[in-house]
Amino acid sequence: VCFFLVNTVFTACELGVFDVLHGAQRPLSAEQLSRQLEASVDGTERLLAACSGLQLLHTHRQEDGTVLYSNTEQASTYLTRSSPLSLCQSIQYYSRTIYLCWHHLTDAVREGRNQYEKAFGVSSQDLFEALYRSDEEMVKFMQLMNSVWNICGRDVVTAFDLSPFKVIYDLGGCSGALAKHCTSAYPECTVTIFDLPKVVQTSREHFVTAAEQRISFHEGDFFKDHLPEADLYILARILHDWTDERCIELLTRVYHACKPGGAVLVVEALLHEDGSGPLTVQFYSLNMLVQTEGRERTAAQYAALLAAAGFTDVQERRTGKIYDAVLGRKEA
């Protein structure tokens, strides 16, 4: 059932069903929609019926028996490209990239490693060379990150009071969505997005405008290049990409760069301490297997990684959303 559900949503978003209905500002029939979607009437009718069954569309039955369709509030909020909370880019990335890796889940479980080579014919020895194997793929990934933080970003940056930290580096800050939430929540801070040169260039061109004056950029590889001194470093959806050994390597570099009295904020989807859930995070951990070198972890496991790098007074905050926050401090 999940297979059918997911593919129905993928297809409706890719065709633009919810966008057309939103733009029409009135209910439309399957025939009217099919013309705008350049799709068959029969196929459109079946897709709309399934979307209605998923409670993504309202149905309006006319006296002549014609059925008209309109978006539910949920569909208008999350499944139209024009919505500030749109998940369309995220859904597209899942459909065209992640889903292809999941075709090889059996091999991933047997081999214990990601499946980029089988899915896309590219070497996965350098994880982000595989993830960013083309400009199009890089933009798609950045749009995915942008849509995630548009929904969850404010919750994670306000899980702790970060106002004492004035100079912030967002390592692997990607599209800058989390940086924007930081500067909005903490008017006295500045945030520097530290990321690979081609990511920084794309972020400047597509995501961060010159008007956002408290956000700046620093090009580099956080495993290889010098990390400038800061009060706070953010690692959001970074550590789950890597093995424990690589996490400790990165966190140790952050610890040495961090000002005394500073901290690191780790943002991740946290497993229950006994590993029994949440189910979404268990699925995410399987996704890390097919896509990366890493895994999802418990708060205690992240605390152990932070302690191994030298951080103390490690605390966690649950947001009630998908992503939670763990803060580790460097003694003054």
Per-residue pLDDT band for 163 (boundaries 50, 70, 90) equals: very high
pLDDT confidence of residue 217: 97
Per-residue pLDDT band for 127 (boundaries 50, 70, 90) equals: low
Pick the catalytic residue from 181, 206, 240, 256.
240
Instruction: Summarize pLDDT for 34-53 with one digit per residue, the tens.
Output: 999 999 999 999 999 999 99
pLDDT averaged over every residue in the chain: 93
pLDDT confidence of residue 247: 98
3 state SS for the chain: CHHHHHHHHHHHHHHCHHHHHHHHCCCEEHHHHHHHHCCCHHHHHHHHHHHHHCCCEEEEECCCCCEEEEECHHHHHHCCCCCCCCCHHHHHHHHHHHHHHHCCHHHHHHHCCCCHHHHHCCCCCCHHHHHCCCHHHHHHHHHHHHHHHHHHHHHHHCCCCCCCCCEEEEECCCCCHHHHHHHHHCCCCEEEEEECHHHHHHHHHHCCCCCCCCEEEEECCCCCCCCCCEEEEEEECCHHHCCHHHHHHHHHHHHHHEEEEEEEEEEECEECCCCCCCHHHHHHHHHHHHHCCCCCEEHHHHHHHHHHHCCEEEEEECCCCCCEEEEEECCC
pLDDT confidence of residue 1: 65
Residue 170 has pLDDT above 70, yes or no: yes
Q: 328 or 90, which is more confident?
A: 328
Instruction: Summarize pLDDT for 234-262 with one digit per residue, the tens.
Output: 999 999 999 999 999 999 999 999 999 99
All structural domains of the chain: 1-82 (1.10.10.10), 88-330 (3.40.50.150)
Sign of the dihedral defined by the CA atoms of residues 193, 199, 200, 205, in that order:
negative
pTM confidence score: 0.87
Per-residue pLDDT band for 266 (boundaries 50, 70, 90) equals: very high
Q: 136 or 201, which is more confident?
A: 201
Told to judge if 240 belongs to the known catalytic residues of this protein, a careful annotator would answer: yes
Residue 124 has pLDDT above 70, yes or no: no
Per-residue pLDDT, averaged over 55-74, amounts to: 95
